């Protein structure tokens, strides 16, 4: 009885589709449109142009900001903080 179950299980595992290996190609990150940086490195909300308040960092992956003007929460991955657009003066 055990041999039958084992062989059926082995057949089932043999028929499973295997995932392709990781190719290492990375697609570019999407463009950031919810925030921008001023030349003095102040992170600002793109909707209203006001500075955002840093609330904290989650799991060393994301930074949580809050806009007191719009009362909106903004989460930004830490890896893209360096790629934020720098705007000299916002036209709001």
C-beta of residue 47 within 8 angstroms of C-beta of residue 8: no
- Confirm whether pTM is higher than 0.85: no
Strands 43-45 and 35-37: antiparallel
Give me the phi and psi of 46, to 5 degrees please: -70, -25
Per-residue pLDDT band at 81 (split at 50, 70, 90): confident
The alpha carbons of the chain give a radius of gyration, in whole angstroms, of 24
What pLDDT is stored for residue 17 in this prediction? Answer: 57
Q: How many residues does the chain have?
A: 92
pLDDT value at 68 more than 60: yes
Q: Domain locations in the chain?
A: 30-92
1-50: pLDDT as tens digits? 545 555 566 566 665 555 556 566 666 666 667 899 999 989 999 999 99
DSSP H/E element including 56: strand 53-58
pLDDT value at 69 more than 90: yes
């Amino acid at each position: 009885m055990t041999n039958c179950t084992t062989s059926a299980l082995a057949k089932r595992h043999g028929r499973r589709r295997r995932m392709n290996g990781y190719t290492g190609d990375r697609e570019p990150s999407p463009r950031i449109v919810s925030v921008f940086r001023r030349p003095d490195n102040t992170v600002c909300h793109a909707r209203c142009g006001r500075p955002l308040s840093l609330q904290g960092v989650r799991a060393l992956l994301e930074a949580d900001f809050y806009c007191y003007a719009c009362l909106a929460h903004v989460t930004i991955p830490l890896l893209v903080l360096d790629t934020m657009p720098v705007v000299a003066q916002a036209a709001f």
